[in-house]
Amino acid sequence: MTPTTIFRRFFSCLIPIATSLTIVGCSSSAPRLKGAEAYFEEGQKALDKKRCVQAIEKFQRLVNNFPGSRLAPDAQYYLAEAYFCSEDFVNAVFEYQRLLDTYPSSQWLDDAQFKIGESYFQQLRRPELDQKETYEALNYFRYFIEDNPASPLAETARQRIVDCRTRLAQKHYINGQLYQRQGHLDAAVLTYEDVVRTYPDTPWYYHTLLQLGEIAQMRDDLSGARGYWEEVLSDSDEEKLQEKAREKLEKLQVAGEQ
């Protein structure tokens, strides 16, 4: 056997081995698509450990790759929960709403409806700023109570409504103060009267009465001023407000006696 023949036979034996190694190497490096159950389990574990971004990735893969899975409705809810966990409340609202629209018979329907309101609530801005999110939260909590009056979450929703209304009342009160400081008394009165008419169940009702009394006094309507301040003194639960009203009434009385 010549050296050339020996080399050819040796080389021909190496080719299948190299090919097999290449196939094994490629198959081990290729991304492996897991099943829906695996993604769901990994997502839940990540969410339980507050690894929110990791949970988002797992549940998103399940929802995208296995939309027909029996786990898809639950995965959609937990995807929204993972966004809520990461404080990405804008995407949380989107994903909760997708659950309501796509899986109307889901067991998480009530929770998702409440969480939409809660996601808006977590975005509330300072009272002096735009209150778009406050109005959205208020509306969704109202819808939730109308649809789920017996839910364990209904009491929390009612308290959220109180908080939202208090925030909106404060916003209007601040606007009234701004008009008053600028000398636009007619606009101030209209704004304050809107607070009194719309938000009588909030603490800002009595703050507003105090300011209406000041404007009435500025316009020499002493009887009207006295009426506003007497209501604050008799009905408000805030001691500081009561003290201010008492001082104003005493000064009004002294001025009347002179």
Q: What amino acid is encoded at 180 in this protein?
A: Q
The model's confidence at residue 216, banded by pLDDT at 50, 70 and 90, is: very high
Alpha-helix residue ranges (DSSP H) falling in 89-238: 89-102, 109-121, 132-147, 154-181, 185-198, 204-218, 222-235
Q: Which domain holds residue 217?
A: 205-258
Q: Is residue 235 part of a domain?
A: yes
The CA–CA distances, whole Å, from 109 to 30, 142, 175, 187, 192 equal: 38, 16, 38, 44, 40
Per-residue model confidence as pLDDT tens digits over 60-109: 999 999 999 999 999 999 999 999 999 999 999 999 999 999 999 999 99
pLDDT for 257 equals 53
> What total of structural domains would you count in the chain?
1
Q: Is residue 217 part of a domain?
A: yes
pTM over 0.95: no
Per-residue model confidence as pLDDT tens digits over 227-237: 999 999 999 99
Q: Is residue 215 part of a domain?
A: yes
Q: Is residue 214 part of a domain?
A: yes
The model's confidence at residue 145, banded by pLDDT at 50, 70 and 90, is: very high
The CA–CA distances, whole Å, from 222 to 70, 175, 217, 227 equal: 72, 24, 5, 9
Q: Is residue 67 part of a domain?
A: no
Q: Which residues contact 245 (CB under 8 A, 6 or more apart)?
A: 210, 213, 229, 230, 232, 233, 236
Per-residue model confidence as pLDDT tens digits over 8-62: 554 454 444 444 444 444 444 445 667 999 999 999 999 999 999 999 999 999 9
Q: Is residue 198 part of a domain?
A: no
The yes-or-no verdict on residue 220 having pLDDT over 80 is yes
Q: Is residue 143 part of a domain?
A: no
